[in-house]
Amino acid sequence: MSRNNSANAASRALDPANTITVAGVSPGSTTYLGPRLLLSTHGKADELMQQLEVVADRLGWTVGFDHDDRHSPQDECTCSGSRCQGPDGPLGITRLRLGVKARTAAPAPDGWLLLQHARAEFGADALTAVALDHVMTVTALESNPVENSNPVENSNPVENSNPVENSNPVENSNPVENSNPVGSPQSASHRSAGVMSYARLGSGGREPVTYAGARPTRRADDAIRGRRPVVAILDTGCGRHPWLDGVVRTDVTLDGHPIGDTNPITDPEVGGDHEGPLDGSIDPEAGHGTFIAGLVHQGCPDADILAWRAVSSSGRIVESDWLDSITQIAELARRHAVGQPGGHPIDVLNLSMGYYHETPDDVLFDPTLRGVLQVLSGSGTTVVCSAGNDATARPFYPAAFATEDSRDLVPVVSVGALNPSQRSVAMFSNTGPWVRTYAPGASVLSTMPAFQGGAQPTMRTRAHGHLRATIDPDDFRGGFALWSGTSFAAPVVAGRIAQQLVDGLPKKDTIPDAVARSRAAVSAVTADDRRTS
């Protein structure tokens, strides 16, 4: 069992108050991989590499192509990795690895410092195709299993009513801590008891629940006019569940090349305990993808679902790995839209994850991700993104791309979370003019793999031939759970958009018609969703 996480091992926090500064660049806090930079394949790769090498040499470092990367900028693209052919040429990124020069003692290589020195020497505008490799997180709220499994703590009604006591903000897997930990209102020291209460069992934290109703009704293929809508999910994958068997596919590839992580040993939807202490605790985001798939299925039972795994059970992913996967998905959608072999219809793509960019208002901001999203949107795919759980108005990407719109593209849909009454925005939800719509995201019910974690009922006994016990807080063998986060508001909207497309998708289509149809579906779903008081 692997207990290491590459996103944790080399991650560093950018603190704007203490970092090196350059005129014209106003950074915000973020988390990134220290010895790594990303080079957009849209840039002048040879010239940029020469500039970076000059600066790196002066700092006592080296910079070169990452040996683990599948492509250098000169390689021929086979659409199997981090570069794929879009309508205007290659898309994607190449990873650059920083090291220390031979026979040199130097500070640990740092992509941000190298990039800032290069900007100072060559100008910020000249380095727009070079970026940090951010650490991204999924957007679910989770409580501390140590605190919640303590029978003394849990049986005390005074302690139980205190949301601070019952959800430890340091140990919490909430991406407030993981995605933006330094020098911002989102840091742990600024989180309120109200925000953290959603991570506590009984107040929206991940917990088992019984569902006594009927499963969603899915019509037979011959009862569907045209083809079924297809909703794609890039997350922690999808586990087995009676509702989802025969509905979800996890084996779709691009030219035979797998998309995302396919290592069965670390699958967050199988077993549930791959990281952290050897205490049997279910990992913070284990089951996340299955939960999302269940919400999509509830919203549109007639939709087919594609699920790929790109996120570990800790909830973290390196941006470049994520870009590899989303670029391959964009290529599947593009090929289908233009009628090329090897494509697959994708009407909606759910992305319940994101990060805070350090320079979102500058010309330096992320041309690579924007380009990939435009390929998807230009192919008729609606990209639905969670807005983040940090109770802030700071733009969270890719959700914040929702402010951009064009008649030739389907707009990105950013989704914040509502409380169960749907009359108020959940306290944890990010908000702001960049959030397009809101949907239920607090204490929502959905499907879970049949996990049984290390926590135990607070009391157990036998009487009259029966085993009697209190609720086991991490026994999900009933197949359902409650959970909270904008991670789950997004697939609610994704399912609603897919439902708008049912019985209206022709076997053969044109790109303008597909874009117009998806734009109409987005408008129909989001028109009334700002109904909060």
Question: Cα–Cα distance between 53 and 352 in angstroms, integer?
Answer: 36
Per-residue DSSP letters for 22-54? BTTB----EEEEEEEEEEETTS-HHHHHHHHHH
Question: Cα–Cα distance between 297 and 204 in angstroms, integer?
Answer: 21
Instruction: Provide the H-helix boundaries in 361-455.
Output: 367-378
SS3 (DSSP) at 505: strand
Per annotation, catalytic residue among 71, 117, 274, 288: 288
Q: Catalytic residue at 362?
A: no
Query: How crowded is residue 5: how many other Cβ atoms within 10 Å of its Cβ?
Result: 20
Amino acid identity, position 223? A
Q: DSSP character for 171?
A: T
SS3 (DSSP) at 77: coil
With vertex at residue 328, the alpha carbon angle to CA 326 and CA 330, rounded to the nearest 5 degrees, is: 70
466 forms beta bridges with 463
Per annotation, catalytic residue among 11, 149, 352, 487: 487
Question: Cα–Cα distance between 257 and 251 in angstroms, integer?
Answer: 10
> How is residue 533 written in tokens?
């008081």
Amino acid identity, position 54? V
Per annotation, catalytic residue among 235, 261, 304, 347: 235
Name residue, tokens 């990873």: 95
398 prior amide bond cis, ω within 30 = yes
* Angle separating helix axes 319-338 and 511-526, nearest 10 degrees: 120
- Looking only at the bridges linking them, the beta strands covering 382-386 and 230-235 are unpaired
Q: Catalytic residue at 2?
A: no
> How is residue 199 written in tokens?
């991570």
Residue 174: exposure state from Cβ atoms within 10 A (0-12, 13-18, ≥19)? buried
Q: Catalytic residue at 487?
A: yes
The residues that are catalytic are: 235, 288, 487
